[in-house]
Structure 1
Amino acid sequence: MKRTILSFAAGIALFGLLTATAWAGVPTDTVKEGVDKVISILQDPKYKGAKAISGEQLDRLRAAIRQFFDFDELTARAVGRPWLKFTPQQQKDLSASFQELLEKTYISKFEGYNGEKFDYQKEMAQGNLAFVQSQVQANDGKLLAVNFRLIQKDGHWLIYDVIGEGISIMEIYRSQFAQELQNGTPDSLIGKVRDRVADIAAGRAPADDKAVLNDAAKQSATAKQ
């Protein structure tokens, strides 16, 4: 249940579907700015009646979210200390592949948005880091805790982690990255993330954050044969 909530929250956060009922402070204003841009794309009459988000609309949404979500920061923190041993090119390659994986994993949740509201409860900032607490009011009236971690870079606040009902995107991927790096290398991790992206794109693996790397998906496929 918690993982389902996180998937939903991450999907709408990564793709900007946040309808704020209240906000305070620059970090939360950053989220609202992304909201306005994304909602304007979603409400563009030219896409009315489309069965799925794709093509030009998807490209515009991706461009919008990259303005306020820091995928490089999320990647570095998900890898942890081993990140310092990555070459600059390895860091660039993993960040790019991980960003694509996140988009493919959570995009299906984006299509499931049904008017849920975000109510911002509290904002805490210290130095270049901020933490925004919020609640999501589901259509059945339930309140779900969804929090955001932000970092300030070059005078701009950017989201780098989403926490849904106590489950963090960063922590989900950190454990799986650590497992691969324990016996593998930065290049093997990059390769597995890329393989996972390719498998999702080809329909060989589900867009599910329970299995970031291909091993779990392949085991499941083998068991069904």
Structure 2
Amino acid sequence: MKLLNTTNRVFKLLVVAMLVMTAAGLQAESSKSDGTEVVITLQNGLIQAMQQGQKIGYSGRLKLLTPIIQQTHDLAAIIRSVLGAHWAKLNSDQQQAISQAFQENSIATYADRFSQYDGEQFKIVERTQLPRGRILVRSQLIRTDGNPVNFDYVMNKTSGGWRIINIVVDGVSDLALKRAEYNAVLQKNGIAALIDMLEQKTAYIEQSHQ
């Protein structure tokens, strides 16, 4: 009986040790992640949306891309960065409202633009280190006409891993464009007008696919 109890204890200790080693291995593997797999996840989703675009329609692309955008982008950080000093002046309800409107418009824009496929493929070009612990993943959308479109992803490390916080398309920063547009509305008409503008943009996209 003592031998059996001792054997059981040894077995349990071995199981615990294996679980700890497995968890440590997964954590180590996660820490080695260089951020490119997040971009690849996004781009694979976009290609899938393009390939199935006409078959599944706008609503299908929206359903397909919503979790992918949420998992690869730090949308909360993006809208905070876009609004800058204005963000701290908003109350919690206003912050929640603008964040929701921004997320819905961002995903709707993806579903609207990536709707048709003509043999395009994404290719990762390089990964470079940026200040403040951020990275830049450079990629290209290779088109059949031979003229690539450059997509550069600025990424920040979060508790959940690397997330996209800006996209530069052929040298044009999406973050900079949004800052200029959103702050112009804020300064002239306030936060309610900005939320209304985003909601109207999203509604227009939805109506154009009906």
The separation in 1 between residues aligned to 2:48 and 2:140, in whole angstroms, is 23
Query: Which structure has more RCO (C-alpha within 8 Å, separation ≥ 6)?
Result: 1
Q: Which runs of 5+ in 2 are unaligned?
A: 1-31
Structure 1 residue 38, shift from structure 2 partner: 6.5
- Structure 1 residues 14-72: Cα deviation after superposition (integer angstroms, max 9, x where no partner): xxxxxxxxxx96211222244556767888xxx797262424x6324312321111211
Task: State the TM-score, normalizing by the size of structure 2.
Answer: 0.70
Q: Say whether residues 1:200 and 2:200 are aligned partners.
A: no
CA gap 1:93/1:30 in 2 versus in 1, 3 angstroms: same
8 Å CA contact 1:38, 1:64 repeated in 2: no
8 Å CA contact 1:75, 1:98 repeated in 2: yes
8 Å CA contact 1:25, 1:123 repeated in 2: no
51, 59, 63: which one pairs with 1:59?
63
Structure 1 residue 133, shift from structure 2 partner: 1.6
8 Å CA contact 2:126, 2:138 repeated in 1: yes
8 Å CA contact 1:78, 1:170 repeated in 2: yes
Larger Rg: 2
Structure 1 residue 119, shift from structure 2 partner: 2.5
Task: State the TM-score, normalizing by the size of structure 1.
Answer: 0.66
- Structure 1 residues 132-158: Cα deviation after superposition (integer angstroms, max 9, x where no partner): 122222111123322011111115101
Q: Say whether residues 1:106 and 2:110 are aligned partners.
A: yes
- Structure 1 residues 98-132: Cα deviation after superposition (integer angstroms, max 9, x where no partner): 12112223323211233322232221234442211
Q: CA RMSD in A?
A: 2.9
The separation in 2 between residues aligned to 1:118 and 1:64, in whole angstroms, is 16
Structure 1 residue 159, shift from structure 2 partner: 0.9
Q: Which runs of 5+ in 1 are unaligned?
A: 1-23, 207-225
The separation in 2 between residues aligned to 1:129 and 1:172, in whole angstroms, is 21
Pairs within 5 Å for 1:140-219: 140-203=145-208
Query: How many residues were matched structurally?
Result: 177
What amino acid is aligned across from residue 114 of structure 2 in structure 1? F
What amino acid is aligned across from residue 192 of structure 1 in structure 2? M
The structure richer in helix per residue is 2
Residue identity over aligned pairs, in percent, reads 25
CA gap 1:145/1:58 in 2 versus in 1, 3 angstroms: closer
The separation in 2 between residues aligned to 1:193 and 1:122, in whole angstroms, is 34
8 Å CA contact 1:70, 1:159 repeated in 2: yes
The separation in 1 between residues aligned to 2:36 and 2:202, in whole angstroms, is 31
